[in-house]
């Protein structure tokens, strides 16, 4: 968990840097739509790695996806602790119950 906290801290620090030296700053300056597209791109790359079952690619693409996820959270001003609290709440009910409790969501 410490590595995730460190990553979040680094993202917070790097977003203030020049876009010439910080990829995080570059992403945030590009805005929400761009960052969402990058996250979706990473998701597709992870899906591809999972389908091919190439362990090193799965690990690498997972790391990329986590990074882009945390950049999006920073951009949207959502604290990771809020997500952890939500996960903690969900541990009290089954995944099926949680899914059915949402509006317009069906369990298939």
Q: Which fold is adopted by the domain 2-77?
A: Helix Hairpins (1.10.287)
pLDDT of residue 97: 76
Distant-in-sequence, close-in-space partners of 22: CB < 8 Å, separation ≥ 6: 14, 15
Percent helix, strand and coil across the chain, each rounded to 5?
A: 75, 0, 25
pLDDT digits (tens, 9 = 90+) for 84-94: 999 998 888 88
The percentage of residues in the chain with a pLDDT greater than 70, rounded to a whole number, is: 94
Instruction: Say what the pTM is.
Output: 0.83
Calculate the average pLDDT of the chain.
92
pLDDT digits (tens, 9 = 90+) for 9-28: 999 999 999 999 999 999 99
Per-residue confidence at 105, pLDDT binned at 50, 70, 90?
A: low
**Domain extent listing, the chain:** 2-77
- Give the residue-averaged pLDDT of 23-42: 97
Instruction: Give the residue carrying structure tokens 């993202």.
Output: 11
- Asked if the model's pLDDT at residue 53 lies above 90, the reply is yes
């Amino acid at each position: 968990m410490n590595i995730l906290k460190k990553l979040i801290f680094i993202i917070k620090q790097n977003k203030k840097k020049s876009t010439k030296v910080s990829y995080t700053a570059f992403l945030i300056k590009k805005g929400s739509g761009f960052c969402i597209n990058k996250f979706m791109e990473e998701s597709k790359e992870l899906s591809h790695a999972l389908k091919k079952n190439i362990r090193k690619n799965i690990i690498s693409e997972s790391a990329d996806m986590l990074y882009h996820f945390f950049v999006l959270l920073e951009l949207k001003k959502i604290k990771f602790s809020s997500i952890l609290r939500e996960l903690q709440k969900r541990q009290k009910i089954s995944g099926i119950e949680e899914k059915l409790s949402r509006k317009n969501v069906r369990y298939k």
